[in-house]
Structure 1
Amino acid sequence: MVMILQLILVLSTLISVTVPSEVLGLVGNSVQMDIQHPIPEFKMFLWVFNKNKNILNYNSKTKTTKRYSAYEGRVELNEKNYSLKLKNLQKTDSGLYEAKAFGDVDRVVAEYRLSVLDPVEAPVLTLQLSRDTCNITLTCRGHDLSIKSSCYKEMCEEKEVTSPGGITLSLSVNGSSIICNHSNTVSWKTDVLERRKLKQLCADEGEGSVSPSAGVSVCLLKIVLYSISLTLMLSAVITVHVRGRLIKSS
């Protein structure tokens, strides 16, 4: 009867841990994997990678933890709940992780499938002007993805594309900002353009091609020319008057 109960217990445990839980990590960061099922009485507790690479083990009799050389300085075991913390993640850490309790009944009490991803690159958001500066083309680029969006004044098309590898590039408008966002499932980076810049470009177009400083220069030039003309006219009048008096006196 005892053997039957133990067999049922083992079978139920195997059934419940057939599908590993998916875990995502970022290169250089840490990840924690907790126990998923009740732990029976055990003599040895083991975390193992890809079925055949030991990470660490805990001896319940001596209450000591042994870390294997490949993970020395990178793993921590919580001796109260037996969760595993893996630090300074690398792409090569991607794979299957299992926690096993060995005693009268050997049981897998946790199973995870870890995927370690690189952080995304910072995107670049640029604008291209047309003859009508109220119509502007924005380009959002991130790695091998690109989005073009047409804007009129401050209003821009919102767009998004996703690569087969799960990397997303999006261009969105949020309040006073236009945001180019480059992301995957564990990281994101943005480039931001203030909407008032588009409004200013359009306003400058409405004021014409002459800048305020140029306008001042034109005005000053007109005053100078007018003064010169007036001076020449006055000089001509004086000259005629003087000649007339000379003629009379002679």
Structure 2
Amino acid sequence: MDVSSDVFRLAGDSVQLDTQDPVQKFEDLIWVFNRTNNNKAPGYEGRVEFNEETYSLTLKNLQKTDSGLYEVRASGDEDRVVAEYRLSVLDPVDTPVLTPVLHQQSRGTCRITLTCRVHDYCISSSCYEETCEEKEVTSPGDVILSLSVSGSSIICNRSNPVPETL
């Protein structure tokens, strides 16, 4: 196999999956989803384009059910996988909620508990004087929830592996 990679996209976006350039001589070239060519594949009607010059496959209006393994197979003198992509279609990230709780202590000092929450994921950190613990948790699907303090800023962040588009 010449090309293999993980690809992350948001639901509703598009993705172009390319073959190795240039493709060696072949008799047949076929894109396969999850190593099968049956009707269990997602409904692509009106959402797929095949480029007959570059042999790339473009999927539009991505749905979570489009997640899976995409291979392009070339047959000829020998059958081989020309490219392989593991596509993960993710929901956009929601904004996390930050909740600070102040605990008064003796001698004018205080302790703050910070909680960063989004859906079923939550992390907390306690700050005493100027020291706060940085926390991070990774959920299934490589979604990261992090909590950090830098100077007078408290940062509660949720991210996923989908690259930002400009």
TM range (shorter): 0.7 to 0.9
Deviations along 1:32-73, one digit per CA (max 9) or x if unpaired, are 22213642334543222223337xxxxxxxxxxxxxx93232
Partner of 2:46: 73
Deviations along 1:116-164, one digit per CA (max 9) or x if unpaired, are 2233332100111223574322111122222222234665332222335
Deviation at 1:100, TM superposition (A): 2.7
Partner of 1:186: 162
Amino acid at match of 2:16: Q
- Conservation of the 8 A alpha-carbon contact between 2:8 and 2:163: no
Partner of 1:123: 96
- Conservation of the 8 A alpha-carbon contact between 1:32 and 1:84: yes
For 1:185 and 1:124, locate their aligned partners in 2 and report how far apart those are by CA, in whole Å. Answer: 20
Counterpart check, 1:26 vs 2:10? yes
Query: Residue 71 of structure 2 is aligned with which of 98, 101, 111?
Result: 98
Deviation at 1:84, TM superposition (A): 1.6
SS of structure 1 residue aligned to 2:61: coil
Counterpart check, 1:84 vs 2:57? yes
Query: Residue 142 of structure 1 is aligned with which of 115, 118, 137?
Result: 118
- Conservation of the 8 A alpha-carbon contact between 1:119 and 1:187: no
For 1:113 and 1:125, locate their aligned partners in 2 and report how far apart those are by CA, in whole Å. Answer: 34
Between Structure 1 and Structure 2, the one with more helix by share is: 1
What is the total number of aligned residue pairs between the two structures? Answer: 159
> Normalized against structure 1, the TM-score is what?
0.52
Q: Which runs of 4+ in 1 moved over 6 A?
A: none
Aligned pairs (5 A) from 1:89-238: 89-103=62-76, 106-131=79-104, 134-152=110-128, 155-163=131-139, 165-174=141-150, 176-186=152-162
Amino acid at match of 2:95: A
Rg comparison, structure with higher value: 1
Q: What fraction of aligned residue pairs are identical, expressed as a percent?
A: 66
Deviation at 1:180, TM superposition (A): 0.4
Amino acid at match of 2:35: K
Deviation at 1:165, TM superposition (A): 4.9
Runs of at least 5 residues in structure 2 that lack an aligned partner in the other structure: none
- Conservation of the 8 A alpha-carbon contact between 1:26 and 1:187: no
Q: 1:27 to 1:103 in 2, by over 3 A?
A: same
Between Structure 1 and Structure 2, the one with more strand by share is: 2
> Normalized against structure 2, the TM-score is what?
0.73
Deviation at 1:179, TM superposition (A): 0.7
Amino acid at match of 1:150: S
Runs of at least 5 residues in structure 1 that lack an aligned partner in the other structure: 1-15, 55-68, 189-250
**Which deviates more, 118-127 or 43-52?**
43-52
Query: How well do the aligned residues superpose, as a CA RMSD in angstroms?
Result: 3.3
